[in-house]
Amino acid sequence: MRVLGIETSCDETGVALYDSEQGLLADALYSQIALHAEFGGVVPELASRDHTRKLLPLIDQVLADAGLIKGDIDAIAYTAGPGLVGALMVGACTAHGMARALAVPILGVHHMEGHLLAPMLEPEAPDFPFVALLVSGGHTQLVDVRGLGDYRLLGESVDDAAGEAFDKVAKMLDLPYPGGPQVAALAEQGDSSRFRFPRPMTDRPGLDFSFSGLKTHTLTALRTLEQQAALDAQARADVARAFEDAVVDTLVIKCRRALEASGRQRLVVAGGVSANRRLRATLDAALAKRGARAYYPRGRFCTDNGAMIAYAGAQRLLAGQRSDTPQPRPRWPLA
Ligand code: KG4
Ligand code: ZN
């Protein structure tokens, strides 16, 4: 089955063609980052309008890259939620219009299911069951994954998502949006022994997260340095490093706990923050000690993309699932 995947939940227009026998045929991404940068975050109305402009040309591009025509599409999968309602609507209506014209089956996919299955597109794909750490700009969740669609929420953030905390700390440091990669790059120059920030909610049992206090702690540290006239380039890098170390350690501690509690040996890490190099290195080392292993998507499939939606959609479409009408679900729990 050749599936066209469409992702428009936030600020990336993603399109891909996935063949259930041959694998990924082509994928293309248009990022709106430059459009939203001057506002310091995603402006929903601008996002919808830009998806409208870019989606059809991207579909043409992906078909051309794969050497195919519209008539070669066997089914369509699109992100139905969660996300920005207007942005989701663009993908949903385009997908349903195309499916109707081509008389092919169609399915609305859960964005976070796309993220958690993204490592399945890699040569060394994990087998079920596994624990998934989903870390994006909107979500921080630990999920026990027993099979396709068989998900149990183990823990989640009670306030900010990890990516959101990275983005807010980037703003405090006057770094451009989206801040995760920028904070990570600055942290590279930082000295990890200068400051030690708290590892929130690790001193008590449980698998929930909280990053809001850590964000405030970071702001206070920056203000104190400013008052002491000590906020030079090195101090900024040291703060970025202390913040990143605290987020990474917190995520690693909870992942270890989740694996212990569930008895799983495999951990999938997906969503934008899974691109973070320090997170990957620290997790790999911690898991190797207990004979467990982490699986990640390739770099460009950590953040939003069409390939993960085409893949997740293909699995469910092959199982016979269908959607009747374009119904965006801006709030849609995964489990
Ligand atoms: O999954 P994603 O593309 O979009 C959502 O579904 O939210 O994740 C975007 C988030 C942003 O908050 C971004 O700052 C963060 O992922 N991010 C990173 C890195 N790359 C992206 N955070 C930390 N380190 C990175 N290298
Ligand atoms: Zn995402």
- Ligand-binding annotation for 115, yes or no, is yes
Instruction: Give the closest residue to 78 by CA, choosing from 99, 50, 63.
Output: 99
Where would I find the H helices in the chain?
33-37, 44-66, 85-102, 111-117, 162-172, 180-187, 212-227, 233-262, 277-289, 306-318
Whether 51 has a binding-site annotation, put simply, is no
Nearest residue (by CA) to ligand 1, atom 7, is: 137
Summarised one tens digit per residue, pLDDT across range 210-243 is: 999 999 999 999 999 999 999 999 999 999 999 9
Contact between 272 and 9 under an 8 Å Cβ cutoff? The reply is no
CA–centroid distance, 117 to ligand 2, in Å, is 12
ipTM of the complex: 0.98
Q: Is 190 in the pocket of ligand 1 (CB under 6 A)?
A: no
Confidence check: pLDDT of 177 > 90: no
Give the global pTM. Answer: 0.96
Q: Is 41 a known ligand-binding residue? A: no
Atom of ligand 1 nearest to the CA of 162: 12
- State pLDDT tens for residues 71-116: 999 999 999 999 999 999 999 999 999 999 999 999 999 999 999 9
- DSSP secondary structure string, 198-256? --TT-SSSSS-B--HHHHHHHHHHHHHHHHTT---HHHHHHHHHHHHHHHHHHHHHHHH
247 lines ligand 1 (CB under 6 A): no
If we measure between CA atoms, which residue out of 2, 48, 51 comes closest to residue 29? 51
Buried b (16+ CB within 10 A) or exposed e, 107-143: bbbbbbbbbbbbbbbeeeebeeebbbbbbbbbbbbbb
